[in-house]
Amino acid sequence: MIRKYALACGAVVLALSLAITAAACGGSDSGGTDEGTGTVSVLSLWGGSEQEAFQKVLAQFTKDTGIKTKYESARDFLPVIRSRLAAGNPPMVAIIPRPGIVQDLAKEGSLISLDDLGLDSDKINSNYGEAWTNLTDVDGTTYGVVAKANSKSVVWYRPDDGKVKPVTTFDELKNTTNTLESDPMKPWALGAKDSWTLTDWFENIYARTAGVDKYNQLFSGDLDFTDPSVKNALKMMTDLLNNQTVSGGIDGALGTGFVDGIGKVYSANPSAHLYMEGGFVGGIALADVNPNLKPGETIDFFPFPKIDEAQGDPLVGGGDITAAFVNNQDVKKLVEYLASPAAGKIWVSTGAIVSPNKGVTGDAYPNELVKKEAEQVANAQTFVFDGSDLLPGALGEDWGTLLQTVLKDPSKVDSELQSFQQQAQDAFAG
223 and 249, same domain (yes or no): yes
89 and 10, same domain (yes or no): yes
At 369, the amino acid letter reads L
* Cα–Cα distance for residue pair 95/216, rounded to 1 Å: 24
Q: Give the count of domains, the chain.
A: 2
| DSSP state at residue 354 | B
Instruction: Tell me if 383 is assigned to some domain.
Output: no
**pLDDT at residue 218, rounded to an integer:** 98
182 and 303, same domain (yes or no): yes
Helix or strand holding residue 40 (H, E): strand 39-44
* Cα–Cα distance for residue pair 121/141, rounded to 1 Å: 9
Q: Residue 192: phi, psi to the nearest 5?
A: -75, -5
**pLDDT at residue 303, rounded to an integer:** 96
* Cα–Cα distance for residue pair 370/22, rounded to 1 Å: 42
Instruction: Tell me if 384 is assigned to some domain.
Output: no
124 and 38, same domain (yes or no): yes
**pLDDT at residue 29, rounded to an integer:** 40
294 and 398, same domain (yes or no): yes
Helix or strand holding residue 301 (H, E): strand 300-303
Angle at 97 between CA 311 and CA 208, to 5 degrees: 10
Answer for the pair 328, 32: CB distance below 8 angstroms, yes or no. yes
86 and 133, same domain (yes or no): yes
**pLDDT at residue 34, rounded to an integer:** 66
268 and 302, same domain (yes or no): yes
Instruction: Tell me if 252 is assigned to some domain.
Output: yes
Give the range of the structural domain holding residue 112, as residue numbers without chain letter. Answer: 2-150+318-378
Among 378, 402, 421, where does a domain finish? 378
334 and 249, same domain (yes or no): no
Instruction: Tell me if 386 is assigned to some domain.
Output: no
Residue 122 CB contacts under 8 Å (≥ 6 apart), including other chains: none
196 and 277, same domain (yes or no): yes
* Cα–Cα distance for residue pair 138/124, rounded to 1 Å: 16
Angle at 51 between CA 48 and CA 54, to 5 degrees: 150
Instruction: Tell me if 405 is assigned to some domain.
Output: yes
308 and 340, same domain (yes or no): no
**pLDDT at residue 411, rounded to an integer:** 98
The β-bridge partners of 44 are: 73
* Cα–Cα distance for residue pair 172/155, rounded to 1 Å: 13
| DSSP state at residue 92 | S
Helix or strand holding residue 95 (H, E): strand 93-96
20 and 67, same domain (yes or no): yes
95 and 169, same domain (yes or no): no
Q: What is the pLDDT along the chain (430 residues), one digit of tens a residue?
A: 333 333 334 433 333 333 333 333 433 343 444 677 789 999 999 988 889 999 999 999 999 999 999 999 998 888 999 999 999 999 999 999 888 899 999 999 999 999 999 999 999 999 988 878 888 999 999 999 998 888 999 999 999 989 999 999 999 999 999 999 999 999 999 999 999 999 999 999 999 999 999 999 999 999 999 999 999 999 999 999 999 999 999 999 999 999 999 999 999 999 999 999 999 899 899 989 999 999 999 999 999 999 999 998 999 998 899 999 999 999 999 999 999 999 999 999 988 888 989 899 889 999 899 989 988 887 787 889 899 988 987 899 999 999 999 999 999 999 999 999 999 999 998 7
Instruction: Tell me if 260 is assigned to some domain.
Output: yes
Instruction: Tell me if 286 is assigned to some domain.
Output: yes
Q: Residue 138: phi, psi to the nearest 5?
A: -125, 110
| DSSP state at residue 362 | G
Longest dimension (CA), the chain: 66
* Cα–Cα distance for residue pair 45/91, rounded to 1 Å: 13
Instruction: Tell me if 235 is assigned to some domain.
Output: yes
* Cα–Cα distance for residue pair 190/276, rounded to 1 Å: 8
CATH number of the domain within which 410 lies? 3.40.190.10
